[in-house]
Amino acid sequence: MIGVGTKDCSPAYSSWFEKSVVMLVVIRQFWVPIPCRILGESSTHVYVRILPGWEVDIRKNLILALGEVVIAMQERVN
């Protein structure tokens, strides 16, 4: 995942690793919210898990916004 020369840049998404987030991504001319977990990043891509067993790389220049998913206590499953 981490390529050559990425030690020079500071990871912008490291505080979001392994948290449930919604990522707003632009695909063609549409803004698409993607619920996912951020697993890692390189200098140009963010590696995310959309579903168990389905991980993808998303280019950083396509990410418009990012927000943490907060679930109320009464909605959580034990």
Whether 11 maps to a domain, the answer reads: yes
The number of distinct structural domains making up the chain is 1
Provide the whole-model pTM: 0.70
Domain range for 15 is: 6-75
Q: Residue 1 domain-assigned? A: no
Assign 14 a pLDDT band (cuts: 50, 70, 90). Answer: confident
In a domain, 34, yes or no: yes
**Which CATH number goes with the domain that contains 60?**
2.30.30.100
Determine which helix (DSSP H) or strand (DSSP E) holds 39, and give its type and residue range: strand 30-41
Residue 50 falls inside a structural domain = yes
Least confident stretch, 10-14, 16-20, 31-35, 50-54: 10-14
Residue 65 lies in a domain: yes
The rounded distance, in Å, linking the Cα atoms of 45 and 62 is: 9
How far, in Å, are 4, 5, 18, 49, 73 from residue 54 at the CA level? 25, 27, 15, 6, 28
